[in-house]
């Protein structure tokens, strides 16, 4: 019997014999979900006789997660509460997500990124998030799936302590388009205002930029608010001002500079420009394709 077929057969046996449980949409659905690639569930460490003391329901839970395409070991490590969660509670979470437009094929990504969702409280944790998306981000119900798939972390964020304060702050910065925040920049909503967003803006101020200039930069390039100060802003600015000898005015015009790889794009392109003895605007140097860049170098040398 092929590994995948064996896994499904084993799962079917577990789900049908454990405590003679009644029909469950979760168990029925999981029988038709393709197992995670390269996952040999028959040899899972929880199934050998050495782990015979583990309850059948716990083993069933592990197998159900794996069949859904979720790394059970990683999920249990990131969310220890899963160890005591019942199959019925997990089923309730999945049924609730289905009722809000989430599809079966979305579950591996959503639960894989945020296994805490599997033990969330539907009434106090999940329902407020969907209400927030509907009423405050003005996202219609038929677009819930698009928003959640873009940023599953929304479902593990408190509306009162995280999502609403972030939305208020972002609107004060000038992010007026709720649709753009929901569909494109939703990661900003799960970013802590005091510990994540404000420190990045303050760092940009230390470069000699005014608050209005910084506001214009982040509105043009919202990704700036997702970059690490230590791993992105600082080393890229040091290279920009030191090795490249460029002025901060260029960053005002082209804040996307920070979105390019320092080692794979910025340094190689700058080195070739210097060796060619030509001068290129920052945006042209970095945004041009390899073919366009070669042509620019030839024209400059000619």
> How is the chain split into domains, by residue range?
1-111
75, 82 contact by CB (below 8 A) = yes
Cα 296 to Cα 302: distance, rounded to the nearest angstrom:
10
pLDDT band, very low/low/confident/very high, at 42 (cuts 50, 70, 90): very low
Burial class of residue 172, CB neighbours in 10 A (0-12, 13-18, 19+): exposed
Q: Does residue 98 register a pLDDT over 80?
A: yes
* Placement of tokens 């716990």 in the chain: 58
Query: CB 57: neighbour CB atoms within 10 A?
Result: 15
CA dihedral sign of residues 270, 206, 223, 226 = positive
pLDDT band, very low/low/confident/very high, at 12 (cuts 50, 70, 90): very low
pLDDT band, very low/low/confident/very high, at 60 (cuts 50, 70, 90): confident
Q: Does residue 47 register a pLDDT over 60?
A: no
Nearest CA among 221, 219, 220, 245 for reference residue 232: 221
Angle subtended at Cα 163 by Cα 155 and Cα 100, rounded to the nearest 5 degrees? 35
Contacts of 125 (CB under 8 A, 6+ apart): 155, 156
Reading the block at residue 29, the tokens are 């659905």
Helix (H, G, I), strand (E, B) or coil at 221: coil
Q: Does residue 162 register a pLDDT over 50?
A: yes
50-64, 202-216, 265-279: least confident range: 50-64
Higher pLDDT, 244 or 26: 244
Reading the block at residue 88, the tokens are 């019925």
pLDDT digits 0-9 by tens, 251-280? 999 999 999 999 999 999 999 999 999 999
Return the pLDDT at 40. Answer: 39
Q: What are phi and psi of 24, to 5 degrees?
A: -135, 130
> What is the average pLDDT score of the chain?
85
pLDDT digits 0-9 by tens, 211-228? 999 999 999 999 999 999
């Amino acid at each position: 019997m092929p590994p995948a077929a064996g896994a499904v057969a084993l799962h079917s046996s577990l789900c049908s014999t454990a405590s003679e449980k009644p029909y469950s949409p979760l168990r029925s659905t999981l029988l038709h979900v393709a197992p995670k690639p390269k996952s040999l569930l028959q040899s899972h460490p929880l199934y050998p006789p050495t782990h015979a003391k583990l309850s059948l329901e716990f083993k069933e839970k592990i197998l159900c997660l794996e069949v859904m395409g979720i790394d059970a070991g990683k999920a249990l490590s990131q969310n220890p509460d899963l160890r005591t969660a019942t199959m019925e509670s997990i089923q309730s979470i999945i049924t609730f997500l289905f009722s809000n437009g989430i599809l079966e094929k979305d579950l591996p990504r959503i639960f894989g990124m945020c296994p805490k969702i599997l033990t969330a409280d539907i009434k106090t944790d999940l329902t407020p998030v969907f209400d927030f998306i509907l009423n405050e981000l003005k996202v219609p119900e038929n677009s819930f799936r698009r928003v959640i798939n873009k940023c599953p972390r929304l479902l593990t964020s408190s509306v009162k302590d995280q999502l609403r304060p972030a939305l208020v702050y972002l609107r004060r910065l000038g992010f007026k388009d709720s649709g753009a925040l929901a569909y494109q920049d939703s990661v900003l909503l799960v970013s802590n205002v005091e510990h994540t967003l404000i420190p990045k803006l303050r760092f940009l101020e230390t470069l000699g930029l005014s608050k209005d200039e910084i506001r214009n930069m982040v509105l043009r390039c919202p990704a700036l608010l997702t970059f690490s100060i230590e791993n992105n802003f600082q080393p890229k600015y040091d290279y920009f001002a030191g090795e490249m000898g460029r002025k901060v005015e260029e960053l005002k015009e082209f804040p996307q500079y920070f979105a390019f790889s320092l080692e794979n794009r910025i340094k190689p392109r700058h080195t070739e420009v210097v060796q060619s003895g030509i001068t290129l605007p920052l945006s042209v140097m970095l945004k041009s394709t390899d073919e366009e860049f070669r042509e620019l170098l030839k024209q400059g040398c000619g």
